[in-house]
Amino acid sequence: MDVSIVAFVLLLALAFANGANDVSKAIATLVGSGVTGYRTAILWGTAWTVLGAVLSGVIATAMVKTFSQGLLAPGVSASPNLVVAVLVGAMLWVLVASRTGLPVSTTHALTGAIVGAGLLAFGREGLLWEGIGKKIVLPLILSPLLALALSLVLHPLTRRLAARWEGTCLCVMPTARALVMIDGQGATRTLFQTATLGRPVMAVPAQCDRAGLNGLTVGLDSIHWCSSGLASLARGTNDAPKIAAMLLLGSAIASWPSVAAHSAAIIGVAVAMGVGSYLGGLRVTKVLAEKVTQMNHSEGLSANLTTSSLVFVSALMGLPVSTTHVSSSAIIGIGLLKGVSAVRWTTVRDMVLAWVVTLPAAAFLSALAYLLLALIV
């Protein structure tokens, strides 16, 4: 069988593993705060992840360059065996972690796999250690700290806004033409009127019903849903180009040979991430939703806003942060605001241990795969 076909199949398998492990990072707050059940949340996260992955082909091209050129020394050409070994090492470790319910970083796994197989193939001189340190390791170390700090700052603001608007909704009416505020006692106040638009009304749903207002309602739950979708979109945008870039590993120019090849890689990765998310995302979602800390609406919203903002900005800048580290650290930060005892530290310990082990484990697996391929091929 053609090695390029094997590499593409393994690429899809890695994308599947990524979906199974990473979909939880943006939807766990929906389940943990009681907004919805597991399957609905996973389906929601899957849809937005696939959309983000497809969009990454246009808006996250810098990430492709970082992973295809930024880790191997100039002039080093990656053989098909090396690409296959890297994909095998990263895929196996992410699948093992997903099976055990541990949230790990695909970015870490890919980096470790490239280093492990690269050392065997080229020695120390074949790896761009400065690039690995500045473009990969440093962002991976700083991103959880930034997420923790941002969640500590952001959540008090979100909590105040949520307390002010708790129980209210936006009733969008197709016929009347005014924005009316209804308070808890049922008193109304017109905020503005227009001759063309329908009437949105701020009220609790029961008040909308009593007033005979039958329209679309958008409340705090809806905002939480939107924040989860945005975080899933950012995750797809961040992760898909890293995985697709493995097909260009070590190439002289970080560009696709044709539009068809680019489309096939991105769409294939997007679909595989979606299938993995829907079929295999339950275990890790349960860990983040139930075993780190309990969350309410505003806490889940704060965690998602932290995750989506950091991951999306990083994707645009071509900085490969870990969605796992960012989202988990945001949830931990939310828990710390309620007190040290609100965080389940045994779960955090297991998560951090998995993060630390990911780099050497993926490096070992990819090196082993490279040795076996050298003997067989």
Task: Kindly report, residue by residue over 2-54, the tens digit of the pLDDT.
Answer: 667 888 889 999 999 988 888 887 788 888 878 888 889 899 999 999 998 88
Residue 22 maps to a domain: yes
Domain match, 245 and 371 both: yes
* Counted domains in the chain: 2
In a domain, 170, yes or no: no
Model pLDDT, residue 353: 86
Average the pLDDT over each of 8-12, 53-57, 313-317 and give the range with the smallest value. Answer: 313-317
Q: Are residues 65 and 194 in the same domain?
A: no
Contact 362, 113 (CB under 8 A): yes
342 with 282, same domain? yes
Domain that holds residue 315: 3-163+220-376
pTM: 0.76
Judge whether 287 lies within some domain: yes
Is 224 in the same domain as 210?
Answer: no
Tell me the percentage of the chain whose pLDDT exceeds 90: 13
pLDDT tens per residue across span 152-187: 888 888 887 776 665 555 555 545 555 555 555 555
Residues 235 and 202 in one domain: no
Residues 23 and 121 in one domain: yes
Residue 277 shares a structural domain with residue 348: yes
pLDDT at 93: 92
Residue 240 lies in a domain: yes
The average confidence (pLDDT) of the chain is 78
Q: Does residue 204 sit in the same domain as residue 258? A: no
